[in-house]
């Protein structure tokens, strides 16, 4: 069991054992005769989940988000999180072929999870960030600790240098993206370069801008230009379109993501204080063909780090406003998902996350929690926490 898994288990067990009786009684009394708080993004009230699940979730995580126009409904988490035995899973649909009817947990095929990723980190300790391939991720090994207890931990992946940061002049390497054909995109300054993930062969400059994101077929690449406008580049056709930047005072664009079908773009805006620390974040969405059509995905505790996991569903970080307080980098309290057509926002598990990235098919999401990477499977409209797959400090960005 990883350190992160143990922290989550201890936190949940403590909440189960002593749910603060006085506060719990007030909570139950306050909700007994009142309808559950459900305010959707588009203004349509929705409550697909039983009230007792909301109460069980409150007891486990002690989190209530009351302000603003967001619905936070609890998604299931991995086996290390404790759910009361008499509580049904939060779904109105009958169990599907991928779901264990008794436990409500889907049967997730670990073989479908990619076993290698590209990452930005300082591999050789020279103080310069490199692009590396991490292979054999999520492989667990048994060991015996100092007290003689048998346990399981994540095996260290094989690390292969793809781009030595000292070979990139003038600018540090900042971010990576992986295309379906195995091309790794990385940014340095305002240029996007390519390298083969298998042998590290350089592929030259691919596009302009920074923090690239690609459509599922790898044809379209979105980047952020210096003023905050988003450039959507059609690589085969060598053409592109520019989407408008935020108005003055509405923040800087730091993350961009393309929907799998390449028709829509999501961006993260970050508002900062005079000292550069994060004040708030927001997520906007527009069609590629509508340069000034940005519409904000409404939020209460702050959402950010958007990544498409379906043509109408965004993986997001939730609680960015509080988690990023006093920081110059955006952090998120939970990983969740926003269903754009219904206005529902669900959260999965709470930690200090940053840098979300999805597979091209949108069936897996990885999140950087500072000490490594954690995997989430996307099944039946939910994010399922599948635990730590890489335990390495110093990862700046990662993609698979």
Residue range 276-296, pLDDT digits in tens: 999 999 999 999 999 999 999
Residue 162: phi, psi to the nearest 5? -105, -45
pLDDT tens, the chain, 400 aa long: 445 455 445 544 444 443 333 433 433 343 334 333 332 333 333 333 333 333 333 343 333 333 333 333 333 333 322 222 232 333 323 223 233 333 467 788 888 899 999 999 999 999 999 999 999 998 888 888 888 888 888 889 999 999 999 999 889 999 999 998 899 999 998 999 999 999 999 999 999 999 999 999 889 999 999 999 999 999 887 888 999 999 998 999 999 999 999 999 999 999 999 999 999 999 999 999 999 999 998 776 788 999 999 888 999 998 898 889 899 999 988 888 888 888 887 777 667 888 999 998 889 999 998 889 999 999 877 888 888 999 998 999 999 9
Q: How far apart are CA 398 and CA 400, in angstroms?
A: 7
- Residues 192-198: contacts with CB within 8 Å, 24+ apart? 192/221, 192/223, 193/163, 193/168, 195/131, 195/162, 195/163, 197/116, 197/118, 197/133, 197/162
CA-based nearest residue to 253, from 205, 191, 306: 306
Q: Please, are residues 184 and 118 in contact by the beta-carbon 8 Å criterion? A: yes
**Per-residue model confidence (pLDDT) at position 85:** 29
Q: Please, are residues 301 and 290 in contact by the beta-carbon 8 Å criterion? A: no
**Per-residue model confidence (pLDDT) at position 385:** 87
Q: How far apart are CA 104 and CA 160, in angstroms?
A: 39
Q: How far apart are CA 189 and CA 185, in angstroms?
A: 13
**Per-residue model confidence (pLDDT) at position 47:** 33
Strands 72-74 and 344-358: parallel
pTM of this structure: 0.72
Side-chain half-sphere exposure of 168, counting CA atoms within 13 A = 25
- 220-251 pLDDT, tens digit each: 999 999 999 999 999 887 888 999 999 998 99
- Residues 170-175: contacts with CB within 8 Å, 24+ apart? 172/128, 172/129, 173/120, 173/129, 173/130, 173/131, 174/120, 174/129, 174/210, 174/211, 174/396, 174/397, 175/120, 175/210, 175/211, 175/212, 175/396, 175/397
Q: Which two tokens stand for residue 112?
A: 């479908």
Phi-psi region of 394 (alpha: psi -120 to 50; beta: other; left: phi over 0): left
CA-based nearest residue to 59, from 82, 89, 29, 36: 82
Q: Please, are residues 285 and 295 in contact by the beta-carbon 8 Å criterion? A: yes
CA-based nearest residue to 106, from 364, 378, 335: 378
CA-based nearest residue to 184, from 129, 192, 346: 192
């Amino acid at each position: 069991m990883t350190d992160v898994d143990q922290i989550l288990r201890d936190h949940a067990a403590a909440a189960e054992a002593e749910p603060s009786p006085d506060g719990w009684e007030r909570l139950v009394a306050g909700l007994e005769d009142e309808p559950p708080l459900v305010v959707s993004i588009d203004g349509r009230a929705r409550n697909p989940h039983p009230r007792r699940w909301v109460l069980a979730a409150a007891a486990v995580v002690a989190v209530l988000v009351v302000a603003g126009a967001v619905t936070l409904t609890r998604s299931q988490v991995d086996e290390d999180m404790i759910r009361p035995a008499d509580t049904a899973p939060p779904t109105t649909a009958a169990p599907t072929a991928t779901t264990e009817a008794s436990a409500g947990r889907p049967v997730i095929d670990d073989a479908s999870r990619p076993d290698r990723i590209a990452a930005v980190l300082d591999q050789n300790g020279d103080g310069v960030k490199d692009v590396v391939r991490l292979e054999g991720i999520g492989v667990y090994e048994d060991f015996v600790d100092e007290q003689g207890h048998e346990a399981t931990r994540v095996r260290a992946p094989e690390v292969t240098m793809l781009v030595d940061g000292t070979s990139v002049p003038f600018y540090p390497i900042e971010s990576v993206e992986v295309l379906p054909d195995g091309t790794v995109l990385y940014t340095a300054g305002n240029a996007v370069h390519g390298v083969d993930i298998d042998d590290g062969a350089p592929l030259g400059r691919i596009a302009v801008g920074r923090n690239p994101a690609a459509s599922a077929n790898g044809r379209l690449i979105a980047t952020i230009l210096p003023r905050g406008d988003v450039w959507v580049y059609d690589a085969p056709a060598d053409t592109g379109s520019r989407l408008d930047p935020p108005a003055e005072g509405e923040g800087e664009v730091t993350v961009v993501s393309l929907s799998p079908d390449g028709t829509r773009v999501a961006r993260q805006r970050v508002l900062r204080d005079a000292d550069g620390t994060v004040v708030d974040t927001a997520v906007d969405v527009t069609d590629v063909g509508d340069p000034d059509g940005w519409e904000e995905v409404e939020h209460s505790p702050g959402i950010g780090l958007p990544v498409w996991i379906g043509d109408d569903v965004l993986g997001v970080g939730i609680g960015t406003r509080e988690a990023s307080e006093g920081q110059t980098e955006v952090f998120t309290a939970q990983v969740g998902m926003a269903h754009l057509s219904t206005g529902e926002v669900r959260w999965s598990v709470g930690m200090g996350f940053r840098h979300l990235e999805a597979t091209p098919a949108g069936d897996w999401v990885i999140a950087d929690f500072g000490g490594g990477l954690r995997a989430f499977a996307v099944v039946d409209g939910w994010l399922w926490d599948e635990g730590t797959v890489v335990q390495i400090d110093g990862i700046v960005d990662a993609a698979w």
